[in-house]
Structure 1
């Protein structure tokens, strides 16, 4: 009995020792795992910081390039537009057509270039367009309410340069305004279906067709 007891005790001691060794190994592996997780988290944080720095530098580079390129592009575009009917006056750009269209078609042509039919805001602007000898639509109409003339941006007519006796509605549906080449190059009301030249205006350099 004593011998069997000693054998059992020895087996128990060995198993206890193995258990302790396994527990120690487990604890070491857990510690190593936690260390690796910490390293991974630190590397992830560093990567994200580097990515953020890279993104910021990329944005700064693009902003600098834009500042350098935009003035050059604007000059190039304006020079190109000068050969395609565009002229600059004050803070606006003007397109003087060579063809003839009705008022609605003329406005559509302007809008496709990011512009609109001309809005005249000053005597200086009126004098400027008088230099160009074309019979042209401007962005003025009373088609919405007879006798209430408005510009294409919805603003009311305040400064007028009508030809003497105009607008007179001499013919039915004379709801659109043209700038004449006769009678001191002032305005006349015409049927919107009449075909004439046109003048587009944009406050930024528009893309030419």
Structure 2
């Protein structure tokens, strides 16, 4: 049997127990709610971070693609520029080779001109030599001044120069004309009218005039051109 005091104590205990259980139940229920909120928040945070990561990756991918496109365009431009420079270099090499060949040709032409000039200068000097020098020049070549015995020979010789020494001269101490080969003039020869006249007593050499197509006795120190024959 329980007394009222026991009842009330028991009720208090039950009430306290109920209250404690109720308080504990609320406490437990509240902990569960807070845990759920934390879990949802963490999940949202993870999703947000994942979304941000995806956005950053997409942005970076777009930036990389843009950079790749710009890099590709730059490579194309540089490659094209390199190829153009190579073509220009090759053209310059060809032009340089052509210029070198032209330079060599010009040098050859220059040398030919110099040789021709030197020959002309030598010819000019020869043209101003007297008969003695003229004959010496022929002898150095293994020949001698030309001997004319026919009209055809004279026509051939006069075609070379306006005035030409020939191999005929007055024999010393004699009034005879002698060729360079030691033979004397045979016949009258091809003298100009009134020649030989030996106007001052010293006209001992003979020249052929193209204009007169005949011979004339002159001073041996005159400077004319000459024709050699071997």
- By percentage of residues, which structure has more strand? 1
Q: Which structure has the larger Rg over C-alpha atoms?
A: 2
**With structure 1 as the length reference, what TM-score do the two structures score?**
0.47
**With structure 2 as the length reference, what TM-score do the two structures score?**
0.43
- By percentage of residues, which structure has more helix? 2
Structure of higher RCO (CA pairs closer than 8 Å, 6+ residues apart) = 1
